[in-house]
Structures are given as structure tokens and as C-alpha cells.
Chain A
Amino acid sequence: MPAFKILFIEDDPDQIFLYTTKFKLEGYNFICAKNGIDGLKLAEKEKPNLILLDILLGNESGIDALKNLKTNKKTKDIPVIVFTNFTKKETVEQSLALGAVDYIIKSKVVPSEIVKKVAETLSKKRVK
């Protein structure tokens, strides 16, 4: 079985390093983009099985990135988990309304837990 491909859209190098290491240890094919625009391009090209998206990409809003991913024909069916430390209620609601499958706060889960969440989401997707 070929490894699942995960796209991580995140601008902080330390976090990229942390989660890349963990997901690779768990056998995933883990690719990263540093902003929403690159993220969309990479999603179109690489067709990942799932996308982890940060919401505060510096001054750029991850909400816009989510909108773009969900309106693009090639990427709209890829499940997106918002994975961020931004806890504003409106942003959570907006993300879910835009079609994110989950909204997970980074500091509330350790790496092994997010790996588990990702695995769960992927298996649900396959059952469908």
C-alpha cells in the first residue's frame, strides 16, 4: 500500500520540522508549503490525501487559503483539517462552515495525537 500523502501549509520552520519528523517516522509522505498560494499550487500538483492548514500564516489569512482550496475543482474534495493555535470562535465556525473536516488546536494535541486524527479522517474518507 503506497504511503498516504499529507500536505502541511504552515509558515513556522520549527513546526514544519517537528511535524515533518513525526509524520515521516509514522510512514507518511509529508510535504509542506509556507503560504496559501504555494499550498494551493502544491495541492493541485501533488493531489495529497489530506491537508493540514494553519490559519494565521503571518499576515495572510488561512481562511482565504481554505476558501481557495474548497472552490478549486482539483482540490475541493481533499479533506482539510485546520491545524492552528488560533482559537478565535468566529474563525473556528467560519472554517467549519467553509468545509474543513476538523479544527484542531496545536497546543492541545501532541504529535502522536494529530497523527491519530489524520489516520482516523483518512479511514473515514475511505469508508465513504
Chain B
Amino acid sequence: MESAEKLNNGKKEIGGSSYLNRNCWLVKNLNYAPYKRCQYCEYKFRNCLFLQYQVISLFLIVFIFLLFLLIDKTISALVVITVFALVIIYGYFFNNSTEKIIKANFFQKKAKDALKELTDHLEQRVGEQTKDIQEKAVRLEKLLKMRSEFLDIASHQLRTPTSVIKGTLSMMKEGDMEKMPVEEKTRFIEGMFQKSVKLEGIIDDILVASEMDTANFDIKAEDKIELDKFVEKAVSEHQFDAQEKKLALTFEKLSNGPFKIKGSAKYLEQVIDNLLNNALKYTPQGSISTTIKNDEQNVIVAVKDTGIGIPKTDVGKIFNKFIRGQNARNVYTDGSGLGLFIIKRVMDQHPGSKVWVESEEGKGSTFYLQFPLLK
């Protein structure tokens, strides 16, 4: 082993049993740093063919030298010549083939590395894409869930008035009405009529809301609107309903303007209509005052009523679809819970605009719409 070490020009590696092989073809020809491990023969004598050859040669030289000293000179001369010839021939081929093996090993290793890098890269790419697809699938699933939730609730909303109408009609058909006092009959017919009106309203709301419920609902908020005139007109259209309920419905400008904004006239009409309808519906007595004002940046519309107000626990939810306030349901059965959802979705489509509510249960509510002023 000692000779091997010498031949090696060896340097012991810390903690390792292998020796640096400076004669290694790789070390010499491929600028392998001497402190690096040879990756093919691992510097170990038993593994390095090239090194084995050198050691065998050394032993042979020593052996021949001994022969010279000890045995008959002519015999030893013959032996020496034969051995040297063998060594040279053997060495030539051996050297060549070692080099070839090491070279082949080297390129094989290189190819393997390249392939590994490629597969690693490919794996990473595939991984990234799988992640992307997974994310998309999750999003799609969420959308589908939203959709089916929408359908579940929408179908419930549609079935409810239908079941009352159908139920009443079947009782009429089966002769139950004859057994009833007149007031009950009237109540039944009145109920049926109201449910059919409700049914129609729900169908309209559902159509609009389902259009808005899609992720790519996008309205063109491009009309130039004089908001004061716009709101005033809507208010005047609700005067008849207000008078029927004996409610004072007013409109007032709290500042001098301008009140010009950019938006979708078609959808904003619906927004203001929904706000006024709610105020009328949820105000048993008192008044509804609509105001508009501006500052340097914004125009703010407020619809203030003296109605039933919104319980604190409901305030955070009422802009969600199909959500109706607890107190609202106790008093007014008609309503789809879509009005404020529609408002929110439309306002979200107006850049820089927002809607919010301030309310106290039992005292009243104020709904605000804010738009950036068009300069």
C-alpha cells in the first residue's frame, strides 16, 4: 500500500480512506482540481485500473532487479527482456484501454448528469404546470359551488311562492274553500295574488343577479350622468307609492354641485330604484329623505329613512345575495334578498365608487352611494 501511496503522490484526505491519484487521466487531462475526488476510480487503488498498472510495473522492476542480483545473468537477461517486452506491450494496450474506459465513463457520467438535469428541469416544469392546473381546478370548483349554491337558493325562492299558490288552488279544487268563512277565503286569494307578484319579482331579480354573479360580469360605466337630475327623477317616480303608504318622500341638494359623474345609466337607475324600494318597504311610518352633495372629489347620494332599521348582526351580511334581515322577514314576506346584492355588484363595477349603510334597529337606516366627480 505504501508504494501505491508513493505512486499516487498521495495526499490523505481528512476522514477518508482514498488517495488522490495525480496520475489519473482525468486529473491530468481534464483539469480536475487535485482536491476533488475522482468520480470514476474514487482514487482507490483497487478501483483505478491505471494505478494498478503502475503498481504492477513497479513490482516487476523490483522483482527483476532481485533476479539480477541473485540468479544467473544470462537467464535473468532473457527473463528481463521478455518481461520488459510484455510490460511494454501490456502497458501500451492497457494504458490505451484504461484511458478509453475512463473517457467513456466520463462521458457517460456527463450524459447522465445532463439527462438528470433535463429530467429535473422537466419535473420542475411539470410540477409548476400541475400546480397551475390544480389552482385553476380549485377556482373552477369554487365557481361551480357558487353556481350550485345560487341554484339551490334560487330554486327555493321560486318554489316557495309556487307551493303556496299550488296549495291554495288544490284546496279550492278539493272543496275546502266551501268550509271556510269569507275572511279566510279573501285572505287566501289575496295571498295567492301577492305570491304571484313576488314570483315575478324574484324571476326578474334572479335573472339580473345571475348575470352579475358570473366572474366576468363587466358593465360599461361610460355614460356622463348629471346625478342630481337622475336621482330627482327616480324620487319623483316613487312619489305615488310613498303617498299610498302616507310617507313623506323628499329630495334635496345639500351643495351647489357640480354633480356630474361617469357611470352606467341603465344599472344606476336600478341601484337607486332598489334603494328607494327598500326604504319604502321597510318604513312603516315617517319619512324618506333623499339628498345629494358634492365636495372637490366626490358626489354622495344618501337615502335616509325612519324605518325598522337593520339589526347589528345583519348589517355585515345584507349585501350578500339572498340575505334578508331577521326583522325584515318578520314583517314583510316579499323580498328576494337580491336588491342590495345587485347594488353592490353594480357599484363594484364603477371605479372609485362605493356603497355603505348606517343604521340603528328600530330607528331607521341611511344608505350612501359615493362616486368620483367627473371634472
Chain A residues with a Cβ under 8 A of chain B: 11-15, 17-19, 21-22, 25, 34, 56, 58-59, 84-88, 105-107, 110-112
Question: Interface stretch among B12-20, B117-125, B151-159?
Answer: B151-159
Q: Which of B153, B163, B326, B333 contacts A107 (CB 8 A)?
A: B163
CB of A16 to closest CB in B, whole Å: 10
Q: Which of B167, B176, B317, B323 contacts A25 (CB 8 A)?
A: B176
Q: With the chains together, A58 CA to B329 CA distance in Å?
A: 7
Interface size on B, residues (CB 8 A): 32
Whether the pair B333, A110 counts as a contact (CB closer than 8 A) is no
Chain B residues with a Cβ under 8 A of chain A: 152-153, 155-156, 159-160, 162-164, 166-168, 170-171, 174, 176, 179-180, 184, 187-188, 191, 194-195, 314, 317, 323-324, 326, 329-330, 333
What total of A-B pairs shows CB separation below 8 Å? 81
CB of B145 to closest CB in A, whole Å: 11
- With both beta carbons as reference points, the residue of chain B lying nearest to A85 in the complex is identified as B159
Whether the pair A87, B156 counts as a contact (CB closer than 8 A) is yes
Interface SS of chain B:
helix
Contact A106:B180 (CB < 8 A) given known A11-B329, A34-B330: no
Q: With the chains together, A117 CA to B60 CA distance in Å?
A: 109
CB of A56 to closest CB in B, whole Å: 6
Contacts of A111 in B (CB 8 A): 167, 170-171, 176
Whether the pair B156, A56 counts as a contact (CB closer than 8 A) is yes
Contacts of B163 in A (CB 8 A): 15, 85, 106-107
Whether the pair B168, A18 counts as a contact (CB closer than 8 A) is yes
CB of B185 to closest CB in A, whole Å: 10
Whether the pair A13, B160 counts as a contact (CB closer than 8 A) is no
CB of A22 to closest CB in B, whole Å: 6
